[in-house]
Amino acid sequence: MTNTPQSIDLLIEARWIAPVDTDGLLKNHAVAVHQGRILDLLPSGEAHLRYRPAERVRLDDHLLIPGLINLHAHAAMNLMRGLADDLPLMDWLQHHIWPTEAEHVCAQFVRDGTRLACAEMLRGGITCFNDMYFFPDAAAEAAAELGMRAMLGITTLEFPTRYASDAEDYLTQGLATRERWLNHPLIGFCLAPHAPYTVSDTTFERIATLAGQLNLPIHCHIHETAQEITEALERDGIRPLARLHKLGITGPNFIGVHAVHMNDEDLACIAESGSYLAHCPTSNLKLGSGIASVVKMQQSGIAVGLGTDGAASNNRLDMFGEMRLAALLAKGTSGDASALPALEVLRMATLKGAQALGLGHKIGSITPGKAADLCAVQLNTLETRPCYDPLSHLIHVAGRECVSHVWVNGRCCVEHKKLHSIEQNDLESSIALWQNKLEVRRKAPE
């Protein structure tokens, strides 16, 4: 008696699959997807006998990977891409970015900027981003419209902006937004104190309490520049990370962003507390902040994910670029050509990011039971041939232009390199309007 094949929503057959949670590649395998989740991962021949899909996608010259996870972004800042280049961090922030934000940032700015960022990220294989910006309700609307997974920051500062008046107001508004989106399958939240130099001890203590009560990750810039540490020692008599540890911020739910200037005590603190770090190599180089010691971090037992930072300081939301640069910097700074092999870099861009966000049980690997967040990378162009090692090609040869298909929660968001769910003309019109507004400010006399 022959078993009847099981009806499912989707069967994706690929020449190569990188599950990420195991070593190596699977060749000529298939991923069975039903109701947004990965049902099975098995040889293609077996899949034909076991499943009857409503839709079948054949990827004959592709590597299928988990959707990439951008562990640190300021999505709406896509509207400030290239606005103030070739400047160090504090000059860039204080004299260009913050004044522009004070004049222009509103809910519509964040909605339009985040729509642009989501479009860019999805086309580049990013299925989830961890954001830190204002008006998170508008960011949630944009991400939901494009069908993208987002962890949105309840951003907190001591000084007023067009979004909130003080730290308590930031937290109150952010938590109310979280309540409104609590049951959405793709939208989650982090507590996001901006940085030790913009947030007080009292606010950090309140955030530590909220994180414990609500089981939320904490996402914070830390040790990005040498100047930040020098000023902290003069002001507080203690290094910024040590201060956060003393205030109860570090721990398994803490994501420290940048971590460029870390001494042995700092690394020990992160390792012993079980905290995570988000490495943003392009932004750190472009702002002249330095190079994070990722090899030393990993040797200390620290889990490191990858982020782009915002497009105002990168200027791309391109995880392929971050993966390649992270690998090359690790090899160059350590003098060890074996540092950060391709599979480990891919894990940084997928599973490590998922674990940092508390989503390791849900995304980050091609594992039955997890959400079907997937990215197909085409490896049949002249630029990608010959291909002896698809994982090596993924990191050192392929770029985001090689992404052909992207699924989030089993739903196709990019098909044959074309974005679903948004009209490009509508998006381009909103970008042009904001460019005109921001250019008027740039040209105004000081």
Residues 23 and 105 in one domain: no
Percentage of the residues of the chain whose pLDDT score is greater than 70: 98
Residue 2, pLDDT score: 58
**pLDDT bucket at 1, cuts 50 / 70 / 90:** very low
Residues 76 and 48 in one domain: no
Number of domains the chain is built from = 2
pLDDT for residue 442 is more than 80: no
Residues 113 and 186 in one domain: yes
3-state DSSP assignment of residue 154 = strand
pLDDT for residue 379 is more than 80: yes
Residues 299 and 309 in one domain: yes
The helix-helix angle for 136-146 and 107-123 (nearest 10°) equals 40
**pLDDT bucket at 443, cuts 50 / 70 / 90:** low
The CATH number that applies at residue 252 is: 3.20.20.140
pLDDT for residue 389 is more than 80: yes
Q: Kindly state whether residue 446 falls inside one of the protein's structural domains.
A: no
When the pLDDT of each residue in the chain is averaged and rounded to a whole number, the result is 96
Q: Kindly state whether residue 117 falls inside one of the protein's structural domains.
A: yes
Residues 177 and 258 in one domain: yes
What the block records as the tokens of 396 is 């050192």
Rounded to an integer, what distance in angstroms lies between the CA atom of residue 379 and that of residue 286? Answer: 30
pLDDT for residue 445 is more than 60: no
Residues 84 and 233 in one domain: yes
Q: Kindly state whether residue 434 falls inside one of the protein's structural domains.
A: no
Query: Could you list the residue range(s) of the whole structural domain that residue 156 is in?
Result: 68-356
Domain termination site, one of 356, 380, 395: 356
The CATH number that applies at residue 28 is: 2.30.40.10
Residue 226's nearest CA partner among 217, 234, 218 is 234
Tens-digit pLDDT profile for residues 127-182: 999 999 999 999 999 999 999 999 999 999 999 999 999 999 999 999 999 999 99
Residue 48, pLDDT score: 97
Residue that has been written with the tokens 């971050």 in this structure: 322
Residues 305 and 395 in one domain: no
Strand partners, 187: 150
Residue 31 carries which side chain, given as an amino acid letter?
V
Tens-digit pLDDT profile for residues 33-87: 999 999 999 999 999 999 999 999 999 999 999 999 999 999 999 999 999 899 8
pLDDT for residue 446 is more than 80: no
Residues 133 and 28 in one domain: no
